[in-house]
Every structure is written in C-alpha cells, then in structure tokens.
Amino acid sequence: MPFLTKKLTITLINQVLLPSTMASITIKCKSPVTGRVPTNESPCKDTDLCRTVHWSFMVETHRPLRVLYVDHTAKLSGGEIALLNLLRVIDRSAVEPHVLLFSKGPLQSLLTDSSVTTHLLEMDNEVLETRKESLGVNSIFKLKKIELVVSQIWKVFKFIRENKIDIVHTNSLKSDVIAGISAKLAGVPLIWHIRDRIDGDYLPAKVASTFKLSAKIIPDLVIANSYATLSSLNDNQVKTNGHEIVVHDGTPLAQALLHRQMSKRKDGNTTIGIIGRISPWKGQHIFLQAAQQINRQFPEVRFKIVGSAMFDEQAYEKQIRQLATDLLLDEVVEFTGFREDVAQVLDELDIVVHASTTGEPFGQVIVEAMSAGRPVVATNGGGVPEIVNSQSVGLLVPMNNADAITEALKRLISDPNYASTLGEAGRQHVLQNFTIEKTARGIEQAYSKLTSTAKQTRPIHS
C-alpha cells in the first residue's frame, strides 16, 4: 500500500476471512503524533496522517472440500451401506459431503438422518433397472436409453456447476459412467470408487473390457475396495500407482462393539448364520447343504439366513426356501428377512458363514462378524483372503464346496474354546486393520493428494 508512509504504523484491528476467495480487511492507522488508534470517542485530529483504509483483495482460503458422492440407487446394498458408513465419520472440517441419488429409497433417509446433505435427481427406471447381466451393445445403444442417459448427464453437469462442486466421487457402475462424463465436462476432478470385480464372471465380457479401458481414461483417480477388485481392472495384475489405489471398507461396529459383551444363547445351543442379500452367487443353497450335514450330527444346532432378495432375485429366494423344506430343515432354519440391526443379529449368532460361489469384491459381512468376535468360515476367493489373511483369524474354505464348510463348522462346534480363541483373534485383527475411521482417513488422504496434484483452472468455489 504505497500511500502509507514511514510516518504511519499499521495496526490491523479487524480481519474477516469469508468462506470464499474474497476477503475484506479494515485497517486503522496509529497516529505518530498521539500514539493512539482513533476511535469514535477519540477521533484523530491529524487527518493527513490518521485515517481508516478499507481494502478488498483476493486471498486463498481453506474451507472444506465440497465433494459430491453419486449413486444410481438408494437401495441398501453393500456399496450403499459402505458409503453411508463412510459419510457418518468423514472429517467435516476437511470435507463437506453432498450426495446425489438417481432414485428414492432407504439410503436417502438414512443419509439425511446422519446430517448428510442429500439431493435427488430421479432417472427413468428403464435405465436404472437394467441388470448388469443384460448389458451389452444392443441394450446400451437403444435410442430411448441413449436419450435418457444423455439427459441425465446434462442434469448432473448442471448440478455440479450450480453447486460449485470440487470433487465428484462416484459409488456405482452406472454412476461412474453418467456422473463421470458430467464431471469431465464440468472440469471437476473425478474419482471412481470401484466396489465390484470387473471380470467376465461378473459382467458381460464386452462390457467388462470397455469398462477397464474407460477406467484408464475417464477418472482422475480410481479407488478400489480390495486388491482383488483392482486386479480385475488390470487383467488380474495388481498394480497400485498414483492413478489407482486400494482403500479397504471398514466397519463402524469395530469401535461400537469394543466395550460390549456379546451374549451367548440362553439355551446353550449353537446358532450358525449367513448374512447378506439373497442371491445365487451369495451361496445360500451351499449353506443349506452344509446345514443338512451338520443337522445329522448336531441336531440341536440352529441356522439363520439373514437377508432378502434384491434386483429381481425373488425367484432364487423361493428356491432356497423350498430347498430348506426338501432337506427337512424347516424346524432348524429361520429366514429372518432383511435386518438393519447388524449388531443385534450378530448377538444372536455363534458362528458366521460366508458362502459366496464367485470371488467377493471385498466381504463386508466378514469384517462385521469378526468385529463382534464371531468365528468366521469364509470361501477363499476375491477380496476375502485380504481379510482372512491367516487361519489364525478365520477359516478359509474352497468356493462351491458344502463339504468343506461342513468340516470347518464341525471343528468349531466340537471345540468351543477354539471357536472363542478364533473369534477373539479375528476381532483384534479388525480393530487393527478394518475400522471405518481408518477407511475415512484413507479417503481423505486421497482427496488431499488429488487436489494438490490436479491442475486447477479455477479457484476453490464458495
């Protein structure tokens, strides 16, 4: 400020930094004659030397990053539950979360109840309900669907611009494509959070190949929920670099159950459960085949199938209910339906089985069961070995093998002390490696790295 001469001593008495790039500062100058800063009660008489200067200028501020999380569905599947858990503990001093959903559902109200700003930008069900198994060139490029997708891309683009979003973080395959293109058009850094294995046993081969190529080009950063998921993007080669990282999904139960004593059934009977969406690849039929064998040797053991069918898989649920009847298990098997109270569910179980018949991208249920100190029998595929990385924390068995599950269960039922030791070792393993707080810190570090290396062509938005 060249008009302030050597005769003036600058005293900053008021500085207001607004949450934007513009700040207003009022400077009052101390009189070299009186040595006082002028006030209304004692004005400065030396008007040439004592005056108030109002100065507006641009400054760099450090408000939280405005991150837009996008998901095409509000149904409570694994990826949506993982997102909800993350946003409940994300550091709000560093991240201002906004969620954009393309459909209504229970996730919307749960996010709102967790004080997460949630927006709804509904999309036509013809696109939303397209199953991954039916994807292909013919289904994707139907004229009507193209029009619907382009329209949604434009709406998301406008939303990003109008809400001055700093980072777009997509949470599902459909949102990867739609919101991904919107983010690139808006010039906003883009993160694809991949929670599904991108392979021929999960997606049609052509779709999987196209998605793998797109993952190299469209997002600025790819976050995978396991090394197995990441390797599926790279033709089964694990490669972590600045463009692709792994952040495992943690569980909020790890800390929530830390000081809670999980109870035992009052009747002393062992209860074995399988938890998760009822779907052919989740292996409830394998679980029932093992249950039949256990029932022959341990008729007092009870079984629970916790979960419900989603995404038009009700026919499979009918099949496994009939299977329970055919295997004469109606008296010992309970179908509980969907349960939100995971901690209470685990309180009702002594052993948890994971029976997926194809490689699981991660295995959230396994982490939750271990956090409750429950011994786990899990199939060895996908991201599961990254959780059960030693037989000292859980028992791994081959996929599609009811006999192997049966033998592992017999070992746990016959030796309660071993089962208890295994459960406690698993609990400690989760506390050290799979808390939701650890997940949140990993995501926050990814944001920090992305924003520090990205070439911003515009200032941080207000």
Q: Pick the closest to residue 156 from 31, 70, 92 (CA basis).
A: 70
pLDDT at 57 over 80: no
Residue 148, number of CB atoms within 10 A of its CB: 18
222 and 82 assigned to the same domain? yes
Question: Which DSSP letter does residue 164 get?
Answer: T
Residue that is last in its domain, among 18, 37, 58: 58
Q: How many domains does the chain have?
A: 3
340 and 352 assigned to the same domain? yes
178 and 239 assigned to the same domain? yes
Residue 55 forms beta bridges with which residues?
A: 25
292 and 378 assigned to the same domain? yes
- If residue 83 lies in a helix (H) or strand (E), which one and from where to where? helix 78-89
129 and 84 assigned to the same domain? yes
Per the prediction, the chain carries an average pLDDT of 83
44 and 163 assigned to the same domain? no
pLDDT at 148 over 70: yes
Which residue is associated with the tokens 């983010």? 183
Q: Indicate whether 70 belongs to any domain.
A: yes
Q: Indicate whether 317 belongs to any domain.
A: yes
- If residue 352 lies in a helix (H) or strand (E), which one and from where to where? strand 351-354
Q: What is the CATH number of the domain that holds 345?
A: 3.40.50.2000
Q: Indicate whether 199 belongs to any domain.
A: yes
| Per-residue pLDDT reduced to its tens digit, 106-122 | 999 999 999 999 999 99
207 and 339 assigned to the same domain? no
Question: Which DSSP letter does residue 278 get?
Answer: B
16 and 158 assigned to the same domain? no
Task: Determine the pLDDT at residue 73.
Answer: 93
For the whole model, what pTM was predicted?
0.80
84 and 39 assigned to the same domain? no
Q: Indicate whether 385 belongs to any domain.
A: yes
136 and 203 assigned to the same domain? yes
Q: Indicate whether 459 belongs to any domain.
A: no
Task: Determine the pLDDT at residue 38.
Answer: 54
Q: Indicate whether 389 belongs to any domain.
A: yes
118 and 241 assigned to the same domain? yes
Q: Indicate whether 462 belongs to any domain.
A: no
Q: Indicate whether 460 belongs to any domain.
A: no
Task: Determine the pLDDT at residue 208.
Answer: 86
78 and 211 assigned to the same domain? yes
Exposure of 458 in the CB half-sphere (CA atoms within 13 A): 13
Q: Which domain holds residue 32?
A: 9-58
| Per-residue pLDDT reduced to its tens digit, 14-37 | 333 333 334 444 444 555 555 555
Say if residues 262 and 278 touch (Cβ distance below 8 Å).
Answer: no
pLDDT: is 197 or 144 the higher one? 197
Burial string for 255-267 (b: 16+ CB within 10 Å, else e) reads eebeeeebeeeee
Say if residues 366 and 378 touch (Cβ distance below 8 Å).
Answer: yes
